Amino acid sequence: MIADDSLLIRAVVQAALEAEGYQVMLAEDGRTALQQCQSRPPDVILLDIVMPGLDGYQVLAELKNDPALSHIPVVFLTGRTGMADVVAGLRAGAHDYLKKPFEPEELLARVGSALHVKQLQDHLRDRNAALDRISRTDALTGLYNRRHLNEVLALRYADARRHGDPFSVLLLDIDRFKRVNDTYGHPTGDLVLCEFARRLKHELRAGDIAGRWGGEEFLVILPRTGASGVLEVAERIRAATAATPIIAGEAHLTVTVSGGCCSGPGDSPEDLLRCVDTRLYQAKAGGRNLIVAADVKVGG
Q: Can you name the CATH fold of 146-295?
A: Alpha-Beta Plaits (3.30.70)
Q: What pLDDT is attached to residue 299?
A: 31
3-class secondary structure, 75: strand
Average pLDDT of the segment spanning 144-161: 95
> Regarding the domain with residue range 2-133, which homologous superfamily does it belong to in the CATH classification?
Response regulator (3.40.50.2300)
Cβ–Cβ under 8 Å, residues 45 and 37: yes
Around Cβ 144, how many Cβ atoms within 10 Å?
23
Burial of residue 18, with CB atoms counted within 10 A of its CB: 0-12 exposed, 13-18 middle, 19 or more buried: exposed
pLDDT at residue number 298: 36
Q: What is the three-class DSSP state of 74?
A: strand
Enzyme catalytic residues: 216
97-132, pLDDT tens digit by residue?
888 888 899 999 999 999 999 999 999 999 988 888
Q: Given a cut of 80, is residue 162 above it in pLDDT?
A: yes
Residue 191: strand, helix, or coil: helix
Q: How many helices (H) and strands (E) does the chain have?
A: 10, 12
3-state class (DSSP) for residue 67 = coil
% of residues, the chain, pLDDT over 90: 80
pLDDT of residue 252: 92
Q: What is the DSSP string of 104-145?
A: HHHHHHHHHHHHHHHHHHHHHHHHHHHHHHHHTB-TTT-SB-
Question: Residue 248: CB partners within 8 Å, gap ≥ 6?
Answer: 184, 188, 191, 192
What mean pLDDT is predicted for residues 146-161?
95
Q: Which residues pair with 114 in a beta bridge?
A: none
- Length of the chain counted residue by residue: 300
Residue ranges covered by each domain of the chain: 2-133, 146-295
**Rg of the chain (C-alpha set):** 29
The winner for highest mean pLDDT among 67-81, 204-218, 263-277 is 204-218
228 contacts: CB under 8 Å, gap ≥ 6: none
- Percent of residues in the chain assigned helix, strand, coil, to nearest 5: 50, 20, 30
